[in-house]
Amino acid sequence: MMRAVCLAGALVVALPPLFVTAARAEVVKLQAELKGSNEVPPNASSGSGKAEATFNTDTKVLTYTVTYTGLTGPALGAHFHGPGEAGKNAGIALPFKSAQSPIQGTATLTEAQATDLLAGKWYANIHTAANPGGELRGQLAK
């Protein structure tokens, strides 16, 4: 009987850290409004769009949808850039498999990418021939 009580007590002490670890994982929702005025430098595009994403902090999986309309011409490239705050340009952090709207995908991020994403240092960018540096841009934010 004493052995069973000791075993039960040991489980009570040992199990809470398992539950605490599981409780830390969360799914973070991110979004961005894509506009020409967000580009660096800004442009006068009448196009618009949005990016919506979820990020699982445990698995590091990013799931995203990017849509746009009203570009000056066909999209020639589209991707997430980072790390870069609003008002600053950055390199490609995650290329999209397609530039056609709607763009959908998933990716498993590195720890560094996850940190930058959650710090607001990633942005979606749509490129066209008229605006090769980017026609529409939107900073991902919680």
Mean pLDDT of 104-128: 98
CB 54 within 8 A of CB 27: yes
Contacts of residue 83, defined as CB under 8 A and 6 or more positions apart, other chains included, come to 90, 93, 116, 119, 121, 122
Mean pLDDT of 65-86: 98
Alpha helices in 1-142 (DSSP H): 2-14, 16-24, 111-118
Residue 14 lies in a domain: no
Residue 83 lies in a domain: yes
Domain total of the chain: 1
User: Residue 50 sits in which domain range?
Assistant: 25-139
pTM of this prediction exceeds 0.85:
no
Residue 3 lies in a domain: no
Residue 8 lies in a domain: no
Confidence label for 2 from pLDDT (cuts 50, 70 and 90) = low
Contacts of residue 65, defined as CB under 8 A and 6 or more positions apart, other chains included, come to 51, 52, 53, 102, 103, 104
Residue 31 lies in a domain: yes
pLDDT of residue 16: 52
Residue 12 lies in a domain: no
